[in-house]
Structure 1
Amino acid sequence: MHSLELLLDDATDAAVRAHWRRLLDADLPSQARHTGASNRPHVTLALADDLPVDVVAAVRRAVGASLPLDLRLGGLLVFAGRRPVVSRLVVASTALLDLQAAVVAALGDEAVDPHGQFAAGAWTPHVTLARRLGPDDLGAVLEVAGEEPVDLVGRAVELRQWDMTAKVTGTLVAAQ
């Protein structure tokens, strides 16, 4: 399985990592606890079973000169469930929605959407702050994360591939 992700400019990346650090310092669930080399703030655009050379070329053409792309991280977003996830919403600009739709279309038959999260009108762009929250964590995570500024303006500067099986990342498109 492969994840196609937008990476953030240095300043926005650092601001999100500061969110992670504040949660960690409060002894709460945080993406800062994931110390793997692949862990960095990102916006997942799509998932694919495989990325053959022709599909990678199609994705690169679809993204083209779209990067850098202005992004605005807004308020907190909770994905409910048995183990909730807290994220920062990424405001869905027309340019961002168009880019995500183009990437999904370029993936063609390789696109995977097991939970219906990446289809037009169903995708919720976000940057994860904390995952797998326990029953007593949600309120505290929201309190600490809610101390952050509501709007954070930045840019997406790279489209990265994360190969979940091989545990490797690679740049597909970088801002010019």
Structure 2
Amino acid sequence: MFSVELIPDAEVDRVVREDWDRLLGADLPSSGRNPAPSNRPHVTLAVRDHLEPSAFAGIAEILPVPLELGGVLLLGHRDRYVLTRQVVVSAALLAIHRVVAELAGRPEPRYSTTGIDHWTPHITLARGLTAVRLATAMRTIRAPHISGEAVGVRVWDAENRRVTTIR
């Protein structure tokens, strides 16, 4: 699996990491639990079984784009929840998503939520929360509204655990 990801500026990154740390401090699931240097706040633009990172080199010319985090967004799967920060949709964000999605090609069915007109932009705070732990997590995080920019883009190769930085 490959994903194309937008990287936020330092201030947005800091705010997200602070909430990751709050969750860790409360002994809750947190995206900050993964100590790998490649683990960082990001907005996933596309996920596909196979991608060629070099195909996305031109995306660097579109950056930076405004990036605004609004409220909390919950994604559910069975009896577990994914706690995320909503990324406010803007014309610039939709434009970069469309370019990336077109370069990536039609998504496989399991990645359909990264396709054009089916995308929900977000930054993940925690996965696998039960309803009880979700309630605790909601009391733990601050999730302030913040405006910044997406300043980088990378391609993550999950199988080989390799990041290709485009910008």
> TM-score normalized by structure 2?
0.91
CA contact under 8 A between 2:72 and 2:143: conserved in structure 1?
no
The residue aligned with 2:3 is 3
Give the Å deviation of 1:136.
2.2
CA shift digits 1:118-165 (9 cap, x unpaired):
1222111000001111342111111222x332x111111111011001
Number of the residue aligned with 2:88: 91
> When you count helix as a share of all residues, which structure comes out higher?
2
Shift of 1:104: 0.8
CA RMSD, Structure 1 to Structure 2 (Å):
1.6
Q: Work out the number of aligned pairs and report it.
A: 166
Q: 1:170 to 1:71 in 2, by over 3 A?
A: same
Q: Indicate which of 54, 62, 69 corresponds to 1:73.
A: 69
Counterpart-to-counterpart distance in 2, 1:41 and 1:33? 12
Conserved 8 A contact 2:5-2:42? yes
Structure 1 letter corresponding to 2:61: A
Aligned partners of 1:93, 1:113: CA distance in 2, in Å? Answer: 26
Q: Which runs of 5+ in 1 are unaligned?
A: none
Residues 13-44 of structure 1, C-alpha deviations (whole Å, 9 max, x = no match): 11110111111112211111111222100000
C-alpha change, 1:102 and 1:113, in structure 2 (3 Å) is farther
- Secondary structure, aligned partner of 1:117: helix
Q: How does 1:1-176 map to 2 (within 5 A)?
A: 1-52=1-52, 56-61=53-58, 63-81=59-77, 82-108=79-105, 111-145=107-141, 147-149=142-144, 151-172=145-166, 174=167
What SS is found at the alignment partner of 1:114? helix
**Cα displacement (A) at 1:59:** 2.4
Determine the C-alpha separation between the residues in 1 that align with 2:90 and 2:49.
27
Gapped runs of 5+ residues in structure 2?
none
Separation in structure 1 between the aligned mates of residue 68 and residue 155 of structure 2, nearest angstrom: 22
What residue identity is the alignment partner of 1:169? V
The secondary structure found in structure 2 opposite 1:75 is strand
Task: Name segments (4+ residues, structure 1) moved above 3 Å.
Answer: none
SS at structure 2 position matched to 1:6 = strand
For residues 46-73 of structure 1, the C-alpha deviation after alignment (integer angstroms, 9 at most, x for no partner) is 0122233xxx444223x25211111100
